[in-house]
Amino acid sequence: QTVVTQEPSLTVSPGGTVTLTCASSTGVVTSGYYPNWFQQKPGQAPRALIYSTSNKHSWTPARFSGSLLGGKAALTLSGVQPEDEAEYYCLLYYGGAPNWVFGGGTKLTVL
Amino acid sequence: EVQLVESGGGLIQPGGSLRLSCAASGFIVSSNYMSWVRQAPGKGLEWVSVIYSGGSTYYADSVKGRFTISRDNPKNTLYLQMNSLRAEDTAVYYCARVLNTVTDLDSWGQGTLVTVSS
């Protein structure tokens, strides 16, 4: 069974920078996994932020960026705002079967 | 404006069946990949199923053989038929449009809660 792993929780100060990562139990995450990042606030549906590693939607704030880092997918928030406090999920695509697997989520606290 | 509205959730006994609907507006369901994602209470997101624009369907192992994804083109609506429901199927079920790439679930509905309990 494929497992996608994220940091369970991270804390960042307002105005700071934080990087969330997304690892695959199958090995190195590449662009072929089409890493995707979502933000979810309590009581709300998830909102897409980043698709295909580093592409932003029109509504994605400029302070969010996606990349591949050390064999993982990464989401970096630069100049964090209080409203960025939320749960963040990554999604990877595994071809063949095919199969989509979400990470367990990272709870980001802005403190 | 793209909009997705799920319905059909509720309380159902173990072993029962339920059909979820996802009414779409602002785009054509059959021209896009469409997906179902669920979230158990207090838990993370779990991918459930996808239907490609060409009609191919795929399922998570946890629901394979029990759930069926389909669409009604004239009604522009996506469905999820859920049979042999188990307690572990209890979750909010979201439908989502897949846009730019296979993981780009760019638009989501508000979700519908399915509770499987006796």
Nearest chain A Cα distance for residue B65, angstroms: 15
B12 to A75, B9, B88, B112: CA distances (angstroms): 39, 9, 12, 13
pLDDT by 10s per residue, chain A, length 111: 899 999 999 999 999 999 999 999 999 999 999 999 999 999 999 999 999 999 999 999 999 999 999 999 999 999 999 999 999 999 999 987 788 999 999 999 999
Report the residue from A35, A48, A55 with minimal CB separation from B105: A48
- Between B80 and B104, the more confident residue is B80
Distance CA A84, CA B103 (A): 22
- pLDDT digit string (tens) for B45-67? 999 999 999 999 999 999 999 99
- What is the per-residue pLDDT across B3-48, written as a single tens digit (0 to 9) for each? 999 999 999 999 999 999 999 999 999 999 999 999 999 999 999 9
For A45, the closest of B47, B61, B108 (CB atoms) is B108
Question: In Å, how far is A36's CA from the nearest CA of chain B?
Answer: 6
> Which residues of chain A neighbour B44 with C-beta distances below 8 Å?
87, 89, 102-105
Interface of A with B in 7-26 (CB under 8 A): none
Mean pLDDT of chain B: 97
Chain A touched by B56 (CB under 8 Å)? no
CB of B113 within 8 A of CB of B40?
no
> Quick one: pLDDT at residue A1?
87
A–B CB contacts, 8 A cutoff, strictly below = 72
pLDDT on residue B14: 98
Q: Which amino acid is at B64?
A: K
Residue A75 pLDDT: 98
Looking at residue B61, what is its pLDDT? 94
Query: Do A36 and B105 count as a contact with CB atoms less than 8 A apart?
Result: yes
| Euclidean distance between CA atoms B33 and A95, whole angstroms | 15
Reported confidence tier of residue B100, pLDDT bands at 50, 70, 90 = confident
* A94 lies within 8 A of chain B by CB: no
Q: Is the confidence at residue B103, as pLDDT, over 90?
A: no
Separation in Å, CA of B45 to nearest CA in chain A: 6
